[in-house]
Every structure is written in structure tokens, then in C-alpha cells.
Amino acid sequence: QVQLVESGGGLVQAGGSLRLSCVASGRTFSPTAMAWFRQAPGKEREFVAAITWRGSATYYADSVKGRLTISRDNAKNTVHLQMNGLKPEDTGVYYCAACYEYYLDYVSARKYRDWGQGTQVTVSS
């Protein structure tokens, strides 16, 4: 069974930066894509960014384009989310997720089977 563990969350002022990491452990890890989702208090979980595991395709929510960057390190079974220019509306619990099927896109949470426990990101104004 695969375990995903996120780290790197914290409290930052608006305009600041954070770098989230997600490490996968367990049985042989061979996803087709990895993603970050977030959930703000009282809101539904929403897509943030995704990256294919073998290719170089990336996907971003419109609200984070140009500010957040997803990357991966296949050798370390790790995916990162570099967050710059943070805004208060970026506040929430950030989850990483792993997908194991091939799709035309990787935006929907229903396509992901394994999830981490989440890491809190709080952006103060």
C-alpha cells in the first residue's frame, strides 16, 4: 500500500513563498500522475496543480497560474509545489494525490486513488 506524506506547510504573509513536498512510500510506486488539491474552511476540495509522472505535462488551476509551480523527482518518489506570491485566498489544507490510470487530463479528484493527510497553509493579509 502506498503512503503519501506532505510537508512544508506553515504560516506566511501575503506575497511570501512556501515549498510543499510530498513523498510516496510503500510498494512499488508507479503513478501516471501526481497532483495537489486544497480545501479551505467551509469549501469543497479543489484542484491546484498536476504533473504526469513520465512525461512533462503539467496542469494548473487558473487561480494559481504564474504563481505556483509543480515539479517531481521520480528517483525520490517526490512531488513539490513551489508557491510564490501567496494570497490569503490560498489558505487551506493542501493534499497530494496519486493517479494510476491514463486520462486526457488530471484535474478531477475522482481520478486519484491515494491521498496524503494534508499540510496546512495559512496566508495572512
pLDDT value at residue 55:
77
Q: Are the C-beta atoms of 18 and 86 separated by less than 8 Å?
A: yes
Question: 89 — phi, psi (to 5°)?
Answer: -70, -5
pLDDT value at residue 89:
96
**Cα(42)–Cα(61) distance, integer angstroms:** 19
**Cα(75)–Cα(73) distance, integer angstroms:** 6
pLDDT value at residue 28:
84
β pairing state of 46-52 and 33-39: antiparallel
Comparing CA positions, the residue from 6, 57, 8, 2 lying closest to residue 32 is 57
pLDDT value at residue 26:
84
pLDDT, mean of each 10-residue run, the chain (125 residues): 96 98 91 97 96 92 97 96 98 98 93 97 97
Comparing CA positions, the residue from 48, 28, 34, 46 lying closest to residue 114 is 34
Q: Sign (positive/negative) of CA torsion 39, 24, 1, 29?
A: positive
pLDDT value at residue 47:
98
